[in-house]
Amino acid sequence: MTSTDRENPSSSPDEASGSALRGRTSLAELAFLFLRLGATAFGGPAAHIAMMRDEVVRRREWLSDRQFLDLLGATNLIPGPNSTELAIHIGWQRRRWAGLVIAGVSFILPAMLITGGLAWAYVRYGKLPETEWLLWGAKPGIVAVIAQAVWRLTGTAARTSLLRIVGVGAATAAALGINELALLLASGVLVVALRGRTWQRGSPLRQLLPGVPAAVGTATLSAVTLPGLFWIFLKIGSVLFGSGYVLLAFLRADLVQRLHWLTEGQLLDAIVAGQVTPGPVFTTATFIGYVLAGPSGAVVATCGIFLPAFIFVAISGPLVAKVRNSPTLGAFLDGVNVASLGLMAVVTAQLAHAAVVDLPTALLGALAVILLLRFKLGSTWLIVGGAAAGLVIKLLSHG
């Protein structure tokens, strides 16, 4: 590369490819692509994002790498499931409002249907010994997957001394029972303040937060109702930053500890269902909704948790460049992300206590950690392997 090339960004290969990007995309093509991705994208958000880049940048040339990275950056600045929001962003870029809806719904629908089928089987057969042993073997693996996610995110989320201190403080407060939404908000504001950013009337941070107090309010429900179910998942989808695994902290706080709609074991079962299916981890909501209120509950919970993603992308899509370059909003999200990591660490410990109940489950958990870290085994294979091990142990114990 010549000195002229280095000084002129417009001559980069990315921009050159961008000049030859394909024109109009049909809605049918958008639907087919994201239905296929939603039905085959195992491995969590990072895998989903890599698959989307391969399809829309390398193979179809719908976006340049620079455009793709801009959209990916935007998904990290709004609450909700990152890979789903990226799909919605791509749909918006290609066909505006119709594309936004088609891409998002197509990516969500396969996972929703598959998870709903698992929920039906769980409700009907979940108390059978065979199913119990399958879940018994799978749960240590899912705890290992979450623990690995916490470990891998530490280097990014807690990259400075300030962020490490905020993260430890958030984890300590979460372990003491402080409201998780208040923790995220306070951590974000604290990092902004300590970095010397002022709270100004027109700042992006001030524009971001007016809707948060309404979302922070807690429901006072005791019986399961469809409106109550919708509100719980709408609230979670509206305020959840970070990895999809942070979802577990919110679900546990609302559905297990406060409302007592689920047991710890049922929550773990829902997590397993969300992990063994392709597509967004947030379709855990589909499983929970079905368990609590049947098919109507599954639809209501799924709509509630994903609706904010469509709204946030519709609002932020035209503002990607401004939001991405805001130092104040960046500082706020640094605080939110490191607090999210603290919540994830606490939830991992709590779920491990419920999953590792004897020597065999402890050995399965240790083996899962080794397979994850040493051999990079995918989470789906870990869970399937754990379930198979549970079935084998059950057969041997009765042999």
Cα atoms in the Cβ-side hemisphere of radius 13 Å centred on 83: 28
Rounded distance, CA 185 to CA 183, Å? 5
Structure tokens at 216: 């922070």
CA–CA separation, 186 and 332 (whole Å)? 9
Residue (of 261, 227, 233) closest to 247 by Cα position: 233
- Cα 8 off chain centre by: 38
Q: Which of 391, 320, 326 is nearest to 130 (CA)?
A: 391
Instruction: Check residues 84 and 128 and name the one with the higher pLDDT.
Output: 84
Q: Which of 333, 320, 337 is nearest to 74 (CA)?
A: 320
Q: Does residue 272 or residue 81 have the better pLDDT?
A: 81
Residue 34 lies in a domain: no
Average pLDDT value for residue range 216-241: 77
- State the pLDDT confidence band at 325, using cuts at 50, 70 and 90: low
Q: Can you read off the two tokens belonging to residue 282?
A: 């947030």
pLDDT score, position 149 = 65
Q: In terms of Cα–Cα distance, which of 146, 152, 122 is closest to 289?
A: 122
* Higher per-residue pLDDT: 209 or 225: 225
Which residues have C-beta within 8 Å of that of residue 252, sequence separation ≥ 6? 264, 267, 347, 350
Residue 66 lies in a domain: no
Residue 1's pLDDT band (boundaries 50, 70, 90)? very low
pLDDT higher than 70, residue 340: yes
pLDDT score at 78: 78
Q: What share of the chain is helix, strand, coil (3-state, %, to 5)?
A: 80, 0, 20
Q: Residue 385: CB partners within 8 Å, gap ≥ 6?
A: 141, 371
Structure tokens belonging to residue 307:
């609706």
Q: What is the pTM of this model?
A: 0.63
Residue 157, domain member (yes or no): yes
Do 72 and 85 contact (CB within 8 A), yes or no? no
Please state, rounded to an integer, the average pLDDT across all residues of the chain.
Answer: 76
**In the prediction, which pLDDT does 91 show?**
93
| pLDDT for position 354 | 76
**Region of poorest pLDDT, from 24-28, 94-98, 375-379:** 375-379
Query: In this predicted model, what pLDDT tens digit does every residue of 254-310 receive, in sequence order?
Result: 898 888 898 888 888 888 777 777 778 888 999 999 999 999 999 999 999 999 999
Q: What is the phi/psi pair of residue 358, to 5°?
A: -160, 180
Greater confidence (207 vs 67) lies with 67
Query: What's the CA gap between 91 and 52, in Å, rounded?
Result: 12
Q: Does residue 193 lie in a domain region?
A: yes
Q: How far is CA 256 from CA 159, 233, 267, 268, in A?
A: 33, 14, 8, 11
List C-alpha distances in Å: 119 to 261, 272, 380: 16, 11, 18
Query: Residue 231 domain-assigned?
Result: yes
Least confident of 1-5, 347-351, 379-383: 1-5
Q: Judge whether 8 lies within some domain.
A: no
Percent of the chain past pLDDT 70, that is, above it, reads 76
DSSP string for residues in 315-330: HHGGGHHHHHT-HHHH
The residue behind tokens 């491995």 is: 43
Distance, CA of 136 to CA of 188 (rounded, Å) = 38
pLDDT top residue among 73 and 389? 389
CA-CA distance, 321 to 330, in Å (whole number)? 13
Pair 34, 107: CB distance under 8 Å: yes
Averaged over 327-349, what is the pLDDT? 76
d(CA 51, CA 97) in angstroms, rounded, equals 23
Domains: count for the chain? 1
pLDDT at 12: 38
Domain that holds residue 305: 133-397
- 284 secondary structure, DSSP code: H
Is there a domain that residue 364 lies in?
yes
Separation CA 79–CA 68 (nearest Å):
19
Tell me: the pLDDT tens digits for 182-224?
A: 787 888 888 888 876 444 444 444 444 444 433 444 444 468 8
The residue ranking higher by pLDDT, 156 or 311, is 311
Is the pLDDT at 181 greater than 70, yes or no? Answer: no
State residue 22's pLDDT score.
59
184 or 103: which leads in pLDDT: 103
Indicate whether 161 belongs to any domain.
yes
Split at pLDDT 50, 70, 90, the class of 25 is confident
